[in-house]
Amino acid sequence: MKCDLHVHTVHSGMCTVPLLNRICRESYNDPHQVYALLKRRGMDLVTVTDHDSIGSVEPLRRHADFFLSEEVSCRTSSGTYLHMGVYGIEERHHGELQRRAEDMAALLAYLDEQELLFSVNHVFSGLTGARKDADFEEFLSRFPAVETRNGQMLECANRGAAAFAARAGKIAVGGSDAHTLQSLGRTYTQVPGARNAREFLAGLRQSKSLVTGESGDYLKLTRAIFEIGAELVREHRGAALLAPLFALVPAITGVNYALELWFAQKWSRRVERLWTPVPSLSIEEA
């Protein structure tokens, strides 16, 4: 069975860009459209991972092939920010996850207590800010899964995540991270032999997942920003006054591309150097 494990809808809240965060949404995807499009693109199961929200559950709960998930914005034990994917949750879990989001020890304890599957998302991206060595120690020791392919992240960042997961023996998950309809279902996770959501999630826990699909690039990000900008103007006619600023988008995404490339290469190399065991020498070799 196939499932895109990283999907956003209009319920993901407002964007984090200063000033625009008052009027522009992270995503304008309608949950009904998301479901229909994912099915047309071959997904056997549908989940939604809105930022700190389960608003999509009401319109989608009637579908037998839908299960609820969430992307939790949280703080690591070292104080940096992180996006964590939590899969197959119930509505009662949402409030508890949010209540513990600023206390990683409490959040991890709750996830373990409830036996919920969770992942570190876009681990080699600077999307959520700075990283520290201690973050990766925490990912290694406490996180069962790593998002090894994200449809919006650079190929080098995804390669680094896949290598990190393989070295650490982590469960691999992947998804489109689609904030617009165009990218939905282009990146997904497959569990061979699963027949329903319960078996799919069980297969993930047993590391039977196969992650497939697109990575992100400069053109993909630029197009997504233009699409979100068009939806912003559609929702707020006055935002058309910002249209001249759209000319800056290619330059802004170009700078973002360079920063993301630097971040991914820096941390991929550092993590490989710090956590790859060095073979010990035999007496003869010494």
Q: Tens digits of per-residue pLDDT, 182-208?
A: 999 999 999 999 999 999 999 999 999
161: containing domain: 2-275
- Residue 186 DSSP class: S
Question: Is 284 inside any structural domain?
Answer: no
CA distance 26 to 35: 18
Other beta carbons less than 10 A from residue 34's beta carbon: 25
Instruction: Say whether 181 sits in a helix, a strand or coil.
Output: helix
pLDDT score of 97: 98
Q: For 158-171, write each residue's pLDDT tens digit.
A: 999 999 999 999 99
The strand pair at 117-120 and 81-87 is best described as antiparallel
Task: Kindly report the backbone phi and psi dihedral angles of residue 54, in degrees, each rounded to the nearest multiple of 5, phi listed first.
Answer: -125, 30
Burial class (CB in 10 A: 0-12, 13-18, 19+), 48: buried
Q: How far apart are CA 102 and CA 127, in angstroms?
A: 18
CATH code of the domain covering residue 258: 3.20.20.140
pLDDT for res 250: 95
CA gap 5, 228 in Å, rounded: 21
- The structure tokens listed for 104 are 């990683």
Which of 104-108, 147-151, 239-243, 279-283 bottoms out in mean pLDDT, i.e. has the lowest?
A: 279-283
Instruction: Kindly tell me if the per-residue pLDDT of 233 is higher than 60.
Output: yes
pLDDT, the chain, mean:
94
Crossing angle for the helix pair 249-275 and 218-235, to the nearest 10 degrees = 130
- Residue 205 covered by a domain: yes
The C-alpha atoms of residue 2 and residue 43 are separated, in whole angstroms, by 5
Cα separation, 189 vs 121, in Å, equals 14
The pLDDT of residue 237 is: 86
Contact present, 129 and 82 (Cβ < 8 Å): no
Confidence of residue 276 (pLDDT cuts 50, 70, 90): low
3-state SS assignment for residue 151? coil
281 within a domain of the structure (yes/no): no
DSSP for 13-53, please give it.
Answer: -B--STTGGGT-BS----HHHHHHHHHHTT-SSEEE--BT-
pLDDT in tens, 125-146: 999 999 999 999 999 999 999 9
Distance CA 123, CA 157 (A): 8
CB 121 within 8 Å of CB 83: yes
In a domain, 14, yes or no: yes
What's the domain count of the chain? 1
- Residue 63 belongs to a domain: yes
By residue count, the chain amounts to 286
What's the start-to-end Cα distance of the chain, in Å?
51
* 286 assigned to some structural domain: no
Two tokens, residue 124: 């080699």
